[in-house]
Amino acid sequence: DDSQIGDIESYMKNETGSKEPSEMFGAAEGKNVIFVSIESFQNYLIDSEINGTETTPFLNDLKEGQETIWFENFYHQTAQGKTSDSEFIVENSLYPLDRGSVYFTHAQNDYHALPEMLNKSDYETSVFHANNKSFWNRDVMYDNIAYDEFYGDESYEETPENSFGWGLEDKAFFEQSIPYLKEQDQPFYSKFITLTHHFPFELPEDKANIDKYDSGSTTLNDSFQTARYTDEAVAEFFEELKEAGLYEDSIIVLMGDHYGISEFHNKAMGEFIGKEIDGYEHIQQQRVPFMIHIPGYEDGGVRDEVVGQIDVKPTLLNLLGIEDKNDLTFGTDMFADERKGFIAMRDGSFVSDDHIFTDGICYDRESGEEVDPEEEACAPVREKVDKELQYSDDIIYGDLFRFYDFD
Ligand code: GP9
Ligand code: MN
């Protein structure tokens, strides 16, 4: 009922970190936002090499440049809804559900999502994804949260040469998207969802520019080839944006949507990274790339704050100089000094500044050592995590935002 929203509102306004504008407020004011959701990309790929060849030469260089801010401790927070969960978290700064996909089960709820907010600030908003529009119920959800345009598979030309497996390859996807992107009124917010680096990570051999890894897991072995392909596709996309005259006035945000290598491949992954995968390392493997590229920016580099998908919405709004005191988010602007101090996973695991907690074990974040259970070091944050996940579920199951006045 509507009495519940009161407590939740005060929690979201007062206890999820600073809501004041940060140092980066307005740093990308009026710019277009090109948001690239990179399928299944995890941080093990970044700076990795197979037989002396870099897997992601473009992304490696990009993150080193002064025009890019790279958050090396950025965690995905998705559950069974995979890509759709990552979209939901980014758009709403709410948590996904612990089973199913919110995109399917609660697509008709009242939300206060990023595209709706951007529309009010005169942005044209769109999504590009070369797959069936009803996959993950996107057509319904996108309509509800007010994206202006959705370019699905019928907007692309698929041939036997430019597609395999899941469909259109990323290189063709970006190339064919450019004419549509040019049609957008500026400023625009456009989300691109890639597909090539998707399980089972099979790439036609003549398109592979890196060897496979050699381990007991075909999945892990093959993943380097599709990752390399997608890295090349993103590199080409940057060039195409420049040629189209769209680069200078845009910021480009790159994010991995969720893990690609599941825990069934822990043995092979452990060999690859050179350490055994215990609970601590399993959580660390949930880090995915998050880079903000701002053409002309001179103060980029690596940042080590503990951040996650829940923080993306407030961060982007802050960068664009859009302040909305009534918005309700569980995340915090990544550039804020005063942060909430933890990233919660859907199963109750978490990463805080000092600890990593999962499967009932509390680890020291820096050393990876188990903390003596008697100390209950993780207990205070655990309570907050459980409360926050419960609040998020209450909002979704009760459709509670319909009782809250965002204006
Ligand atoms: C499908 C694509 C992949 O459209 O987003 O979905 P996933 O299996 O990663 O959730
Ligand atoms: Mn995905």
**Ligand 1 atom nearest to 193, measured from its CA:** 5
pLDDT at residue number 9: 96
- Say how many Å lie between the CA of residue 1 and the centre of ligand 2: 34
**Ligand 1 atom nearest to 129, measured from its CA:** 4
Beta carbons within 10 angstroms of residue 26's beta carbon = 13
**Cα 156 from Cα 167, distance rounded (Å):** 10
The residue whose CA is least distant from atom 6 of ligand 1 is 83
pLDDT at residue number 102: 98
- Say how many Å lie between the CA of residue 82 and the centre of ligand 1: 7
Beta carbons within 10 angstroms of residue 368's beta carbon = 15
- Which of 36, 82, 191 most suits a substitution to test ligand 1, by most atoms within 8 Å of the C-beta? 82
- Which of 198, 226, 288 most suits a substitution to test ligand 1, by most atoms within 8 Å of the C-beta? 198
- Say how many Å lie between the CA of residue 133 and the centre of ligand 2: 15
- Say how many Å lie between the CA of residue 83 and the centre of ligand 2: 4
What is the amino acid identity at position 298? Answer: E
Ligand closest to CA 256 = 2
- Which of 42, 76, 83 most suits a substitution to test ligand 1, by most atoms within 8 Å of the C-beta? 83
- Say how many Å lie between the CA of residue 317 and the centre of ligand 1: 26
Residues of the chain under the 50 pLDDT cut: none
**Ligand 1 atom nearest to 82, measured from its CA:** 10
Answer yes or no: 53 catalytic: no
Q: What is the pLDDT of residues 27-81, one digit of tens each?
A: 999 999 999 999 999 999 999 999 999 999 999 999 999 999 999 999 999 999 9
pLDDT at residue number 391: 98
- Say how many Å lie between the CA of residue 189 and the centre of ligand 2: 20
**Ligand 1 atom nearest to 85, measured from its CA:** 10
pLDDT at residue number 145: 98
The residue whose CA is least distant from atom 5 of ligand 1 is 83
**Cα 58 from Cα 301, distance rounded (Å):** 15
Q: In which residue are the tokens 């822990």 written?
A: 266
Ligand closest to CA 132 = 1
- Which of 101, 128, 134, 136 most suits a substitution to test ligand 1, by most atoms within 8 Å of the C-beta? 136
The set of protein residues with a Cβ atom below 6 angstroms from ligand 1 is: 39, 82-83, 131, 135, 193, 195, 198
Ligand closest to CA 85 = 1
- Say how many Å lie between the CA of residue 38 and the centre of ligand 2: 8
The residue whose CA is least distant from atom 3 of ligand 1 is 83
Q: Are 262 and 86 in contact (CB under 8 A)?
A: no
Q: Are 389 and 344 in contact (CB under 8 A)?
A: yes
Ligand closest to CA 257 = 2
**Ligand 1 atom nearest to 39, measured from its CA:** 9
**Cα 94 from Cα 116, distance rounded (Å):** 15
**DSSP codes, 231-289:** HHHHHHHHHHHHHTT-STTEEEEEEE-S-SS-GGGHHHHHHHHTS---HHHHHHTTB--
Catalytic one of 56, 68, 78, 83: 83
Task: Single out the residue of 317, 264, 340, 344 nearest to residue 96, CA to CA.
Answer: 344
pLDDT at residue number 1: 65
**Cα 336 from Cα 383, distance rounded (Å):** 23
pLDDT at residue number 19: 82
Instruction: Give 184's contacts (C-beta < 8 A, 6+ positions apart).
Output: 32, 124, 126, 149, 190
Claim: this prediction has a pTM higher than 0.90: yes
**Ligand 1 atom nearest to 258, measured from its CA:** 9
